[in-house]
Homo-oligomer: A and B are copies of this chain.
Amino acid sequence: MILAEARERTGLPIVVEIMSQVQLDVMVKYVDVLQIGARNMQNFNLLRAVGETRTAVLLKRGLSATIEELLMSAEYILAGGNQQVMLCERGIRTFETTTRNTTDINAIPVLKNLTHLPVILDPSHATGHAGYVAAVARAGIAAGADGLIVEVHPDPARAVSDGKQSLKPEAFAAMLKQVGQIAQVMGRNLALAHGAYQQGWA
């Protein structure tokens, strides 16, 4: 697989969204992290299936899921014995229309308070506009998030999907620098922030 080759060349781990149980056998062979997308957060059959594996899972909050429901979905995975679950805030649906979603920044300290699981923020989906990604990424780390997922594309205008919210590599590098400084204030090191480098999945 091409992704596996990309991992070998770059040393970057691979996150891929799984959308159906039938994809599971192939995916666990190649990917480092199985992503459960927002629209599948309450696909309980899929949650149970990934809970049977020992591959790390990135569980995205549903578009209008409560924090309690996110935690209950995580329980479906944990109950199968898979302890490697990361929670991801990716914006919720509100009446506000200047942004694609509303980043629930409160969810970061709330989740850190209620659970020991790592909490990741996705400022790309949570804002939907490249121009707002860096500000919300900084906010996420300042609020205590353990990591970020940020969409990057060398030519956003030609991206197959989500180009509007994708950073160019230069903007991404600038963002990483600021985020790294805030991570230091929070007592986290830059390496951690770099570990969140992930390219282009949604």
Which residues of A are interface residues toward B (Cβ below 8 A)?
19-22, 39-40, 42-46, 62-64, 66-68, 92-99, 102-110, 112-114, 126-127, 131-132, 135-136, 138-144, 178, 181-182, 185
Contacts of A143 in B (CB 8 A): 135-136, 138-139, 142
- Which interface residue of A67, A178, A182 has the most chain B CB atoms within 10 A? A182
Number of copies: 4
With contacts A21-B20, A22-B21, A185-B181 known, is A139 near B105, CB below 8 A?
yes
Does A98 contact B68, Cβ atoms closer than 8 Å?
yes
Does B66 contact A64, Cβ atoms closer than 8 Å?
no
Please measure, in the bound complex, the distance between the C-alpha atom of A63 and the C-alpha atom of B19, giving whole angstroms. Answer: 19
Does A102 contact B102, Cβ atoms closer than 8 Å?
yes
Which B residue's beta carbon lies closest to that of A41?
Answer: B39
Chain A to chain B contacts (Cβ below 8 Å), 12 pairs: A19-B44, A92-B95, A92-B102, A96-B107, A102-B102, A103-B105, A105-B136, A106-B126, A106-B136, A109-B135, A110-B132, A142-B142
Contacts of A112 in B (CB 8 A): 135
Contacts of A64 in B (CB 8 A): 63-64, 93, 95
Contacts of A108 in B (CB 8 A): 135, 139
